[in-house]
Amino acid sequence: MALLDELFQDPRTTRAVDGGFHRASLLWNLPSTMMVRAIADLVTWQKRLETRDTLAAMDQSRLDDIGMSSAARDREVAKPFWRD
């Protein structure tokens, strides 16, 4: 139990152990790191949706301009937003 208490303490109120890195800072920063990652994932997914919507609306002449076949476009458009 003492280990859990130590891990969840605010590192700003704890002193360094042996002058080294304190474990508490790892878990203290975890929620903000997870939030940043979640926001980055949402932005990436939104960009994929927009790109695939744009591809779906392209006619053959535009696909030729970007060097993509209609079969490749159809495969890309069919992917779920979370798949790269």
49 within a domain of the structure (yes/no): yes
Calculate Rg over the CA atoms of the chain.
23
Q: Domain range spanning residue 52?
A: 37-84
Tell me, yes or no, whether 75 lies in a domain.
yes
Is pLDDT of 22 > 70? Answer: no
Q: What total of structural domains would you count in the chain?
A: 1
Neighbouring C-alpha atoms within 13 Å toward the C-beta of 16: 4
- Provide mean pLDDT across the span 55-76: 96
Tokens of 15: 């002193």
pLDDT at 20 over 80: no
Mean pLDDT of 35-55: 93
Higher pLDDT, 41 or 31: 41
44 assigned to some structural domain: yes
Residue 51 pLDDT exceeds 90: yes
pTM: 0.60
